[in-house]
């Protein structure tokens, strides 16, 4: 696949597995095939009406020129206010906030702003497919912390302490987690924060936390989400990443943000401005008022979507347990189940596929049952024994999908 006319960077980079499977499912559907897609992490809901209306009005009002690179003062203020009042992150002003093209872009720019070649990024795995490639593009080195389904895919404070070295620059936390569907309790996060504070005062003075809280609102069973940026001992070295894609059903709008308080926050956001000004400029100007409407006026819409996700989480938890040889921790947040299907390795599917990996299991599921899931290899760690099922779809599809999965499993020989 590698082409000598391309850069080494381009030749070595993997495409996003989540987007690749979603694209394949879309193409099969367009070709008339009855594919059930559990691939992309994308809410099936349409964006709430007040947000759509705000963007339409902005277009009609002529907001069609360049916006400031990191967002209008009003949109940046709305993000700062939200993070202060909802997340307890103190001392944020609009100058501590950068708005970019989705959480993905903000993460990319953050790694560019923080990493020099050889710098270490601590990544508990399995983790979302884009963190490691983004670190790689920035020249950083990923240091994995292995987690497993039995512990809800959570790392322990001791594991974290053991992973930190003088070269540690960034710790990535993603709670609730994509792909794991589990989350840390506030006490567990406080214990991890205590390790960061302790090690930053000794071994790793340049350690920064990037906490990706994009699923913060999609949590179940009365669980509580705690923002790492609200913990005093590490607040000034904690960068919060979030966006509107998941909670507000706005994946196609491409709105994300990064924020960090204090003196370091100001210089970090200035660095984000320099990088983004040479890369994309600001996001579309007519989206800026819609950001304010989403953050200030749409909590009722979000609550309704979250209740629907909770019903779906309970349904998939119950139905998937009926399928033999599929192990997973119950969903706690986000809209993913990360299920260990390795009990089926060594078997053969009706179309002759030898199931030797998560990838071949996912292929057999697509070829034999027309059900698209993301194979776990690219999430790292024990992901090579797992498939990710995104259940951001209606209950009929969840029932039909689990029926198909059960049919595949019963047809294996």
Q: Give contact residues for ligand PMP (rule: CB under 6 A).
A: 41, 102-104, 128, 174, 178, 212, 214, 243, 245, 251, 256
Q: For residue 8, how many other CB atoms are within 10 A of its CB?
A: 9
Which residue intervals of 86-142 are DSSP H helices?
102-114, 131-137
Q: What angle do CA 404, 336, 328 make, to 5 degrees?
A: 75
Contact 88, 230 (CB under 8 A): yes
Among residues 200, 195, 125, 205, the alpha carbon closest in space to that of 160 is found at: 195
* 169 belongs to the binding site for ligand GLU (CB under 6 A): no
CB of residue 232 to ligand PMP, shortest distance in Å: 25
* 217 belongs to the binding site for ligand GLU (CB under 6 A): no
Please select the residue that binds ligand GLU; options are 35, 36, 41, 398, rule is CB under 6 A: 41
Run of H or E including 368 = helix 358-369
CB of residue 407 to ligand PMP, shortest distance in Å: 29
Q: Which does 19 bind (CB under 5 to 8 A by kind): ligand GLU, ligand PMP, none?
A: ligand GLU
CB of residue 243 to ligand PMP, shortest distance in Å: 3
The rounded distance, in Å, linking the Cα atoms of 139 and 135 is 6
Strand segments, DSSP code E, in 175-284 are 208-212, 238-243, 256-259
Q: Which does 214 bind (CB under 5 to 8 A by kind): ligand GLU, ligand PMP, none?
A: ligand PMP
Q: Which is nearer to ligand PMP, 174 or 353 (CB)?
A: 174
Nearest residue to ligand PMP on Cβ basis: 102
Among residues 394, 401, 400, the alpha carbon closest in space to that of 339 is found at: 401
Q: Which is nearer to ligand GLU, 130 or 353 (CB)?
A: 130
The rounded distance, in Å, linking the Cα atoms of 322 and 111 is 42
Region of 137 please: left (phi>0), alpha (psi -120 to 50) or beta: alpha
Binding mask 121-160 for ligand GLU (x = CB under 6 A): -------xxx------------------------------
Contact 52, 253 (CB under 8 A): no
* 16 belongs to the binding site for ligand GLU (CB under 6 A): yes
The rounded distance, in Å, linking the Cα atoms of 147 and 125 is 6
- Residue 402 neighbours by CB under 8 Å, 6+ apart: 316, 319, 320, 322, 323
Pick the stretch among 37-45, 203-211, 224-232, 272-280 that binds ligand GLU (CB under 6 A).
37-45
CB of residue 41 to ligand GLU, shortest distance in Å: 3
Provide the CA 412 distance to its chain's centre, in angstroms.
33
Q: Which does 152 bind (CB under 5 to 8 A by kind): ligand GLU, ligand PMP, none?
A: none
The rounded distance, in Å, linking the Cα atoms of 185 and 183 is 7
Q: What angle do CA 250, 253, 258 make, to 5 degrees?
A: 85
Among residues 144, 122, 39, 121, the alpha carbon closest in space to that of 380 is found at: 144
Q: Which does 174 bind (CB under 5 to 8 A by kind): ligand PMP, ligand GLU, none?
A: ligand PMP
Size of the site for ligand GLU (CB under 6 A): 11
* 178 belongs to the binding site for ligand GLU (CB under 6 A): yes
Strand segments, DSSP code E, in 231-303 are 238-243, 256-259
Q: Which is nearer to ligand GLU, 76 or 104 (CB)?
A: 104
Q: Which is nearer to ligand GLU, 83 or 374 (CB)?
A: 374
CB of residue 5 to ligand PMP, shortest distance in Å: 30
CB of residue 338 to ligand PMP, shortest distance in Å: 12
- Using CB under 6 A as the binding rule, the residues of this chain from 82 to 121 that contact ligand GLU are 104
Q: Which does 127 bind (CB under 5 to 8 A by kind): ligand GLU, ligand PMP, none?
A: none
- What does residue 157 show for φ and ψ, rounded to 5 degrees? -55, -35
Q: Which is nearer to ligand PMP, 195 or 247 (CB)?
A: 247
- What does residue 405 show for φ and ψ, rounded to 5 degrees? -60, -45
Q: Which is nearer to ligand PMP, 22 or 204 (CB)?
A: 22
Q: Which does 16 bind (CB under 5 to 8 A by kind): ligand PMP, ligand GLU, none?
A: ligand GLU
**Angle between the 299-320 and 395-411 helix axes, to the nearest 10 degrees?**
20
Q: Which is nearer to ligand PMP, 212 or 310 (CB)?
A: 212
Q: Which does 341 bind (CB under 5 to 8 A by kind): ligand GLU, ligand PMP, none?
A: none
Which residues of this protein are in contact with ligand GLU, per CB under 6 A? 16, 18-19, 40-42, 104, 128-130, 178
């Amino acid at each position: 696949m590698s082409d000598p006319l391309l850069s080494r960077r381009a030749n070595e980079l993997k495409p996003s597995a989540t987007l690749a499977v979603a694209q394949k499912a879309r193409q099969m559907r367009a070709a008339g095939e009855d594919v059930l897609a559990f691939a992309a992490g994308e809410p099936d809901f349409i964006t709430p009406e007040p947000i759509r209306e705000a963007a339409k009005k902005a277009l009609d009002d002529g907001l069609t020129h360049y916006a400031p690179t990191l967002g209008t003062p009003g949109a940046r203020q709305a993000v700062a206010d939200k993070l202060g009042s909802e997340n307890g992150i103190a001392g944020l002003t609009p100058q501590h906030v950068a708005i970019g093209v989705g959480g993905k872009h903000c993460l990319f720019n953050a790694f560019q702003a923080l990493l020099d070649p050889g710098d270490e990024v601590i990544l508990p795995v399995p983790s979302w497919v884009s963190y490691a490639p983004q670190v790689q593009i920035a020249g950083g080195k990923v240091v994995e912390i292995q987690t497993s389904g039995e512990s809800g895919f959570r790392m322990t404070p001791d594991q974290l302490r053991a992973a930190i070295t003088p070269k540690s620059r960034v710790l990535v936390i993603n709670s609730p987690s994509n792909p794991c569907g589990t989350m840390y309790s506030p006490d567990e996060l406080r214990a991890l924060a205590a390790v960061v504070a302790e090690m930053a005062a000794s071994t790793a003075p340049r350690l920064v936390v990037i906490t990706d809280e994009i699923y913060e609102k999609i949590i179940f069973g009365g669980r509580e989400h705690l923002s790492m940026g609200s913990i005093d001992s590490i607040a000034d070295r904690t960068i919060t990443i979030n966006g509107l894609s998941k909670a507000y059903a706005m994946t196609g709008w491409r709105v994300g943000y990064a924020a960090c308080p204090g003196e370091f926050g100001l210089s970090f956001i200035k660095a984000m401005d320099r990088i983004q000004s040479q890369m994309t400029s600001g996001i579309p100007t007519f989206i800026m008022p819609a950001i304010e409407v989403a953050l200030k006026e749409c909590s009722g819409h979000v609550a309704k979507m979250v209740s629907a996700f909770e019903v779906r989480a309970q349904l998939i938890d119950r139905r998937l347990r009926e399928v033999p040889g599929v192990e997973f921790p119950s969903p706690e947040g986000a809209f993913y189940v990360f299920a260990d299907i390795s009990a089926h390795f060594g078997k053969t599917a009706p179309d002759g596929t030898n199931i030797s990996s998560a990838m071949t299991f996912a292929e057999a599921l697509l070829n034999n049952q027309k059900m698209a899931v993301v194979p776990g290899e690219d999430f790292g760690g024990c992901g090579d024994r797992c498939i990710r099922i995104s259940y951001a779809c209606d209950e009929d599809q969840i029932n039909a999908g689990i029926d198909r999965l059960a049919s595949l499993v019963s047809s294996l020989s």
